[in-house]
Chains A and B, each alone.
Chain A
Amino acid sequence: MTDAPRPRSRPTPALLASLREGKSTLHGQRASMTLREKVALVLELQRVCLPLIKRHRRLAPWEQPWSVTP
């Protein structure tokens, strides 16, 4: 027999809407970066993601951070 679910306080619709709005704003800001800034972000993402991917599978030889400047 399981205990009845404990009542939890929930975010208000206004707070949820605000959080979603914040996420949407972040995506919009990234989309409106200059191309050079976006390529710099891709290079940064490569450095961040590679160790994580490496934990799950063998990397292809070309899966390395690019040796380029943006």
Chain B
Amino acid sequence: MASFADALRVLNDMKQARVVEDYAVAGAMAMVFWTEPVPTFDLDVLVFLAEDAGPIVSLAPIYDWTAARGYSTQAEHVILEGVPVQFLPAHDELADEAIERAATLQYEGVPVRVVRPEYLVALYLEPGARTMKRRERAAALRESPAVDPAVLEGLLERFGLEP
């Protein structure tokens, strides 16, 4: 059986192969790196698609690359080493920054890019993403010592987000 680290290795392989320019783990699995774990069934990954992918955003290069390596898809998820992964192209400047300023952490010896907690909270508080579940996660993160309140406040102000 594969390990969670194997799925993370595939993300790094995709970056090395320039299928994606960069990536950062987001969502509930990013929370695992910063605070206590919450239930989740997929791994959200924010990505910058490769620059030569063209002006129209398409995940086809990702699906093609993973399919060529034998990874299946289920709905919009790619199953990487047993882990359903959803690739989310950066949708705005906040997401851009979340990827650019992601922390490079280690999981069982595998480097992994992870969205920093203040950006996770800000992403959860974006108007389009404000579900009850995400608000709860944002609240849980804000109680965590991992979040720097001054950094978070600056982000919310700069991106016009309501706390």
Q: Chain B contacts of A64 at CB under 8 A?
A: 41, 84
Contact of B35 with A69 in the complex, beta carbons under 8 Å: no
Contact of B4 among A45, A63, A68 (CB under 8 A): A68
Contact of A68 among B7, B32, B35, B41 (CB under 8 A): B7
Say what secondary structure dominates the interface of chain B. loop
Tell me, yes or no, whether A46 is within 8 Å of chain B by CB. yes
Tell me, yes or no, whether A31 is within 8 Å of chain B by CB. yes
Tell me, yes or no, whether A10 is within 8 Å of chain B by CB. no
Which of B87-108 touch A at CB < 8 Å?
107-108
Query: Beta-carbon contacts of B48-86 to A below 8 Å, as 1s and 0s?
Result: 000000000000000000000000001101010111100
Q: Chain A contacts of B107 at CB under 8 A?
A: 35-36, 39
Q: Chain A contacts of B146 at CB under 8 A?
A: 31
Which of A51-70 touch B at CB < 8 Å?
60-64, 66-70
Q: Chain A contacts of B75 at CB under 8 A?
A: 60-62
Contact of A67 with B82 in the complex, beta carbons under 8 Å: yes
Tell me, yes or no, whether B121 is within 8 Å of chain A by CB. no
Tell me, yes or no, whether A27 is within 8 Å of chain B by CB. yes
Contact of B84 among A33, A49, A62, A70 (CB under 8 A): A62
Tell me, yes or no, whether A38 is within 8 Å of chain B by CB. yes
**Residues in chain B within 8 A of chain A (CB atoms):** 1-4, 6-7, 28-29, 32-33, 35-42, 74-75, 77, 79, 81-84, 107-108, 143-144, 146
